[in-house]
């Protein structure tokens, strides 16, 4: 089983602390990554540290960007084709 994966039939809303579960999962992932030199080097880089220090609204920002992109695609499909 992959760290953090929920088994079929298992309730993933067991009332546990979400931040604690994320820390535990990241710890397990880091321990696994240590077996792979290139992945270990990437996780130990400054970029990885900056990624972990993402602003609190990162998820919402990403979600808005996805929705904005989808909206633009739908608008482009609805617009009549211009003959040149």
C-alpha angle with apex 22: 17 to 27, nearest 5 degrees? 125
Per-residue confidence (pLDDT) for residue 68, from 0 to 100: 95
Within-domain flag for 34: yes
Within-domain flag for 6: no
Listing DSSP states for 18-55 in one string gives HHHHHHHHHHHHHHHHTTSHHHHHHHTSHHHHHHHT--
Residues contacting residue 57 through CB under 8 Å, at least 6 positions apart: none
Within-domain flag for 7: no
Q: How many domains does the chain have?
A: 1
pTM value is 0.35
Domain that holds residue 62: 18-78
Per-residue confidence (pLDDT) for residue 81, from 0 to 100: 66
Q: What is the pLDDT of residues 23-78, one digit of tens each?
A: 888 888 888 888 988 888 887 787 777 766 667 788 888 899 999 999 999 999 98
Q: From the CB of residue 44, how many other CB atoms can be counted at a distance below 10 Å?
A: 12
Within-domain flag for 41: yes
Query: 9 pLDDT band (50/70/90 cuts)?
Result: very low
Within-domain flag for 84: no
């Amino acid at each position: 089983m992959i760290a953090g994966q929920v088994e079929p039939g298992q309730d993933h809303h067991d009332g546990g602390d979400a931040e604690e579960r994320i820390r535990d999962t990241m710890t397990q992932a880091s321990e696994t990554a240590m077996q792979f030199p290139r992945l270990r080097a990437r996780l130990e880089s400054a970029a990885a540290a900056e990624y972990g220090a993402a602003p609190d609204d990162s998820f919402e920002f990403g979600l808005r960007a996805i929705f904005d992109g989808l909206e633009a695609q739908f608008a482009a499909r609805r617009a009549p084709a211009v003959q040149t």
